[in-house]
Amino acid sequence: MELISRAVGPLATNVHVLADERSREAIAIDTAIPSLAWIRDELEARGWTLKLIVSTHGHWDHIGDNAAIAAHTGASIAVHPLDRDRLTDPQPLWAPFEIPASVPAVELAEGGQIRFGDLRLDVLHTPGHTEGSVCLYAPDDGILLSGDTLFAGGWGRVDLPGGDPDQMAESIGRLATLDDPLRVLPGHGAATTIGRERPWMELVRTGGRLFA
């Protein structure tokens, strides 16, 4: 797997682009505004073909350039069905600019897989930040793309529309069962590992709830 990342936009959203070295097929994850120019230039420079645009959830700071990148590349858009309406009818709370609507053509569901070239990403439905939040797990490459479910040192907000602290606790507890060496690439902030986060994740898992 080849991977490039860049923090973009007013909330420093981590935009990730993954590519298969052999086929040169790529996917983009959480294409916030403004990521179109960067992704376009990287695809051209590296000889990659974008096949899919994945939204880990439907908040405005993760979906803003979906439509523009899809129009430029012809790539399909994927999201969990419970967050589909957030893409087709964006509700940009506190966004400093307009968030264009985008139309998903691919549903991300628990137990599903994203395949491109020789690479595969398992879809883990991890509600709590929104109803349709997902993480993408690449077991062969030791990577978890955690969106706004898991951050270095904590979890995503549960006080926004679609948030649920009980669901978040369950999702964190599930992720706590993954192996320590797994590298975590969140939707905001620094990368981490499951092992580094395990102490507090185990408290959530065993207690069955978030803590202050």
Catalogue all structural domains in the chain, each as residue range(s) with its CATH number: 2-207 (3.60.15.10)
Evaluate if residue 8 carries a pLDDT over 90. yes
Phi and psi dihedrals of 209, rounded to 5?
-155, 160
Query: pLDDT (tens digit, 9 = 90+) per residue, 153-196?
Result: 999 999 998 999 999 999 999 999 999 999 999 999 999 999 99
Q: How far apart are CA 195 and CA 109, in angstroms?
A: 26
Please report which confidence band the pLDDT of residue 93 belongs to, taking 50, 70 and 90 as the band edges: confident
| Lowest model confidence (mean pLDDT) among 50-54, 114-118, 204-208 | 114-118
pLDDT of residue 196: 98
Structure tokens at 173: 């507890």
pLDDT at 212 over 80: no
Q: Are 72 and 102 in contact (CB under 8 A)?
A: no
Residue 64, pLDDT above cutoff 80: yes
Nearest to 26 by CA among 8, 46, 12: 46
Average pLDDT value over all residues in the chain: 97
Q: In whole angstroms, give the CA distance from residue 74 to residue 78.
A: 13
Q: 76-79 and 49-54: which strand pairing?
A: parallel
Q: What is the 3-state secondary structure (H, E, C) of 14-29?
A: EEEEEECCCCCEEEEE
Q: Convert the pLDDT of each residue in 10-62 to its tens digit.
A: 999 999 999 999 999 999 999 999 999 999 999 999 999 999 999 999 999 99
What phi and psi, each to the nearest 5 degrees, are found at residue 122? -85, 135
99-110, pLDDT tens digit by residue? 999 999 999 999
- In angstroms, the Cα distances linking 140 to 19, 113, 209 are 14, 13, 31
